[in-house]
Amino acid sequence: MVSFKLARTLISISGENMKQIHFLGPEGSYCEIAVNKLVQLLGYSPNEIELVPGSSIKKVIENVDNLDKIIGVVPLENSIEGIVRETLDNLVKTSSKVMMNMEVIVKISHCLITKASRYDEIDTIVSHTQGLAQCNDFINRNFPDGVELKTATSTSEAVRSIMDKPGNWAAIGTKIAATHYSLPVLKEGINDQPENYTKFVLLDNKVADPTGNDLSTIAFSVRNKPGALVDILIPFTQNNINLCRIESRPSKKNLGDYLFFIDFDGHIEDEKVKDTIGKIAPNVDFYRFMGSYPKCSKND
């Protein structure tokens, strides 16, 4: 669990510079819910911050990288659908000042939002790709004759987009978004898995102080030779460092070239982590430290 002491530490890192929090919008998104949890944890009052909804994950990340005195909040990973690719792909393009500084987990409960009064009146459903994927069984079960699926940059943008649409349109999003845009909820809790959680990360230009219960993330590429990835992983085993996640993404340079992302237990200031990074450095073509931050759980 993230402590109050840590929250005050994070405040002191950014101090008076922390004026704006950019997040994936518009209003009513799960990302805004995550922001409100973080704001509460950090102890900010409404007159100390300005919440700025962004049009896309890419835009939020670019703003943190290019503008001064702001932080960002973006989705990183869903318990059902896995990593949010847009977040990883854009984070790795940023300068080294953009780092994951904190994480928060939000329970996902999707709603079918529409002016229609019955399922058979609906022929088009719009949502974020993750929202559509997380409700796939519900869609197939309740729309056996098929329905057109359209994607939006966020679940709240999907809800906003049907405000002026007729009743044959529906959106998958939050109950908060439905209330914000004055739209009816036809069905709540439509996600296929009731235990559905998304991890969101706070992006800042400072490394959070060690807490003794931390997670670190790095990105790297390896040389195209036998055993190259194994050479990277062995030092983690030698130093008894637990790997929590390994993800690969195309480098988008050459076919067959990949970037690897690793989450592991520990903080970048830990001696055994420093030793591990020192051992893998000679074996990578590209390396990017992406942050050390306190772990949280779904109960935080």
The 10s digit of each residue's pLDDT in 177-236 is 999 999 999 999 999 998 999 999 999 988 888 999 999 999 998 877 778 888 899 999
pTM of the predicted model, to two decimals?
A: 0.83
List of residues 6+ apart from 222 with CB closer than 8 A: 228, 229, 231, 232, 260, 283, 284, 285
Instruction: Give the DSSP H/E element, type plus range, for residue 10.
Output: helix 4-14
Choose among 63, 30, 5, 48: nearest CA to 203: 63
Q: List the single range of 2-6, 102-106, 220-224, 268-272 with lowest mean pLDDT.
A: 2-6
Provide the 8-state DSSP code for 255: T
Which two structure tokens, joined as six digits, stand for 158? 């999907």
Q: Residue 157: is its pLDDT beyond 90?
A: yes
d(CA 154, CA 26): 8
pLDDT band (50, 70, 90) for residue 38: confident
pLDDT band (50, 70, 90) for residue 15: very low
List of residues 6+ apart from 268 with CB closer than 8 A: 207, 216, 274, 277, 289, 292
Q: Residue 121: is its pLDDT beyond 90?
A: yes
The residue that leads in pLDDT, 51 or 258, is 51
DSSP one-letter string for 152-210:
-SSHHHHHHHTTTS-TTEEEEE-HHHHHHTT--EEEE---S-SS-EEEEEEEESSPPPP
d(CA 231, CA 222): 9
d(CA 54, CA 60): 6
- List, in order of start, the domains of the chain with CATH numbers: 4-106+198-204 (3.40.190.10), 111-188 (3.40.190.10), 214-294 (3.30.70.260)
Helix axes 228-238, 271-280, angle to 10 degrees: 160
What pLDDT shows up at residue 49? Answer: 82
What pLDDT shows up at residue 1? Answer: 37
Q: List the single range of 12-21, 234-243, 252-261 with lowest mean pLDDT.
A: 12-21
- CB neighbour class for 22 (10 Å; exposed up to 12, middle 13-18, buried from 19): buried
Q: Residue 256: is its pLDDT beyond 80?
A: no
What are the backbone angles phi and psi of residue 12, rounded to the nearest 5°?
Answer: -70, -25
What pLDDT shows up at residue 43? Answer: 77
Q: Residue 3: is its pLDDT beyond 70?
A: no
Q: How many Cβ atoms are within 10 Å of 279's Cβ, its own excluded?
A: 16
Whose tokens are 């405000």? That residue is: 163
Between the CA of residue 79 and those of 132, 190, 193, 207, 287, what are the distances in Å? 15, 16, 10, 26, 27
Between the CA of residue 195 and those of 139, 190, 192, 265, 287, what are the distances in Å? 18, 12, 9, 24, 35
